Amino acid sequence: MIKITKDEILKLLKQAELEEKKDIKKALDMYYEEIVDKQPDVNAYKALGYCLLKRAKKEEKEAELLKKKEAELLEKKEAELLEKKEAELLEKKEAELLKIKEDIKEAFSKALGTLEEAKQLLEDMVTYSMGLKNMDEL
């Protein structure tokens, strides 16, 4: 039986990673040809397969984490966009309310002016009536 060192397995893993990360069969065949020299050592073969599987699982977890981070960023951007739209809508509503307030002020001021005119007219009429009454008494 051939003894395989950890360094040799690591060297092969690195080589397999450089050539093709996801092609485990190719990495195993390469190991078979280079190290075992046509005499397969089942335990070493299993160790290499285990190492490659472990790396694939690690990469899968990293990919999931990246997806989660991307989803969080997207959610955050959407929230910011929604917040911005709400702020713009609020600003618009405030401007509309201010215009309405100004219109109401203007309407009241016109009404007050009309009331002042009416009051003055009434006072004039009362003065005129009193003047007529005084003339009648004379």
Across the chain, mean pLDDT equals 80
> Phi/psi zone of residue 52: left (φ > 0), alpha (ψ -120 to 50 degrees), beta?
alpha
| Inter-residue contact 19 to 13 (CB < 8 Å) | no
Q: Each residue of 117-129: pLDDT tens digit?
A: 888 888 888 888 8
Helix (H) or strand (E) holding 12: helix 6-19
Q: Which two tokens stand for residue 119?
A: 């009051």
Length of the chain equals 138
SS3 content of the chain, % helix, strand, coil (to 5): 90, 0, 10
Quote the pLDDT of residue 17. 66
